[in-house]
Amino acid sequence: EPEVTQTPSHQVTQMGQEVILRCVPISNHLYFYWYRQILGQKVEFLVSFYNNEISEKSEIFDDQFSVERPDGSNFTLKIRSTKLEDSAMYFCASSPTSGRTRTPFGPGTRLTVL
């Protein structure tokens, strides 16, 4: 069964540095998402992306965050100047349609900001 993949599995960075988290969504999916999960807390929506543009974003997704689909397969999340509170698991997800459908999640990238 096709899966969402993410790299790296763990990223350690210094506060103020830029990081790029990478995702390869399932190939025939059209809708892509990033979620964040701070340790021990619930999974929080960050942003959804469709047709090469952001379709919705949460309050968490401020100007420090950006997303891009640089080619036909990758979907990236960039954090320009990381803060300590950005330390979390970041999950990528994709779906074939919007709305009420199952949404496979990738294995996640654990971001640690020192």
Partner 1 sequence: GQQVMQIPQYQHVQEGEDFTTYCNSSTTLSNIQWYKQRPGGHPVFLIQLVKSGEVKKQKRLTFQFGEAKKNSSLHITATQTTDVGTYFCGRSSNTGKLIFGQGTTLQVKP
Q: Residues interacting with partner 1, by CB under 8 A?
A: 31, 33, 35, 41-45, 48, 50, 55-56, 91, 93, 95, 97-108
Q: Looking at beta carbons only, is 45 or 66 nearer to partner 1?
A: 45
State the nearest-atom distance from the C-beta of 69 to partner 1, in Å: 16
State the nearest-atom distance from the C-beta of 100 to partner 1, in Å: 5
Provide DSSP, the chain.
Answer: ----EEE-SEEEE-TT--EEEEEE--TT--EEEEEEE-TTS--EEEEEEETTEEEEE-TT--TTEEEE--SSS-EEEEESS--GGG-EEEEEEEESSSSSS---B---EEEEE-
Q: Looking at beta carbons only, is 16 or 92 nearer to partner 1?
A: 92
Q: Looking at beta carbons only, is 14 or 51 nearer to partner 1?
A: 51
